[in-house]
Amino acid sequence: MRLVLLGAPGAGKGTVAKMLTEIDGSVQISTGDILRAAVRDGTELGKKAKAYMDAGDLVPDELIMGIMRERLQQPDAAKGFLLDGFPRTIPQAEQLKTLLEELGIQLDAAVNLDVPREVILERLTTRRTCVQCGEIYNVKSKPPKVEGVCDKCGGQVVQRDDETEEAIAKRLDVYNEKTAPLVDFYEKEGLLLNVSATSSDEVVKAIRERLGL
C-alpha cells in the first residue's frame, strides 16, 4: 500500500504505520526518524536540522525533499510505503505529487488521524522513544519492561528533546498553521480518508476496509 499519514504530533501516525507494515511488507518512512538518526550520527543533514527540531519548528522544505527523493527510490520502497510525518507543508505535498508522477507511482490514500487536543497533549508528555530503532513507549500505558531500555533492540528509551511542554505547544501551533491545510489538499485530490484516531486498531481497520485488504 502507498499511504500518506496525516495528523498532529502524537496522533499515532508512527504506531499505526508500524502496525500497517505487518500487513503487506510496506515500509514505514518517517522523516522525523530519519532526521533524528542524522542528528544522532552528527551528519551534515543532522547539523542543519537540529536547531529547527529542538525549537519545534519545521526543517526547510528543500532538505526534506532531498531526503525523500532519495528514500522513495530505494528498493524496499517498491513494495509500498507509509509516509509518516511527510508531507508537512503544501509545497512538500505539491513536490511529492510531482515526484510520484515522475516515478510513475500513485498514492492509495491520505489518512487523516483525528484526535482531540487533550488526548494529544497527554500522549506527548508521557511518550518515550527508543533512540536507536524509534520504537514508541508510554510511561503510563506502555512502559518498556526494563525502565529506559528498549524491549525490541536494547537501545536507550528517552523523552525526545522536542517533547518538553514548550516545544510541544510550538509543534501543535506549527501543525495547525502549516500541516492542517493538507487535509483540504488531499480532499481535493480525492484521496482523503478521515478517521477518528483514539484507537490505533480502529484506524488500521478503517484503512483495511478502504483499501480492501
Taking CB under 6 A as the criterion, the residue among 15, 26, 31, 200 binding ligand AMP is 31
Residue from 6, 35, 124, 197 in contact with ligand AMP (CB under 6 A):
35
Asked if the peptide bond before residue 116 counts as cis, ω within 30 degrees of 0, the response is: no
81 touches ligand AMP by CB under 6 A = no
Contact 13, 5 (CB under 8 A): yes
Interacting stretch for ligand AMP, rule CB under 6 A, among 85-93, 120-128, 136-144, 180-188?
85-93
86 binding ligand AMP? (CB under 6 A): yes
32 contributes a contact to ligand AMP by CB under 6 A: yes
- Residue 127 lies near ligand AMP (rule: CB under 6 A): no
- Kindly state the cell numbers that stand for 69: 527523493
- In angstroms, the CA 19 to CA 197 distance is 14
C-beta closer to ligand AMP: residue 85 or 155: 85
Min dist CB 212 to ligand AMP, Å, is 28
In the chain, where do the E strands start and end? 2-6, 27-30, 81-84, 109-114, 127-130, 136-138, 157-158, 192-196
Residues in 165-184 at the binding interface with ligand AMP, rule: CB under 6 A: 171
162 binds ligand AMP (CB under 6 A): yes
List of residues 6+ apart from 166 with CB closer than 8 A = 56
Within 13 Å, how many C-alpha atoms sit on residue 163's CB side?
A: 17
Any contact of residue 53 with ligand AMP (CB under 6 A)?
yes
Beta strands in 139-191 (DSSP E): 157-158
Q: Write out the residues near ligand AMP by the rule CB under 6 A.
A: 9, 31-32, 35, 52-53, 56-59, 64, 85-88, 92, 162, 171
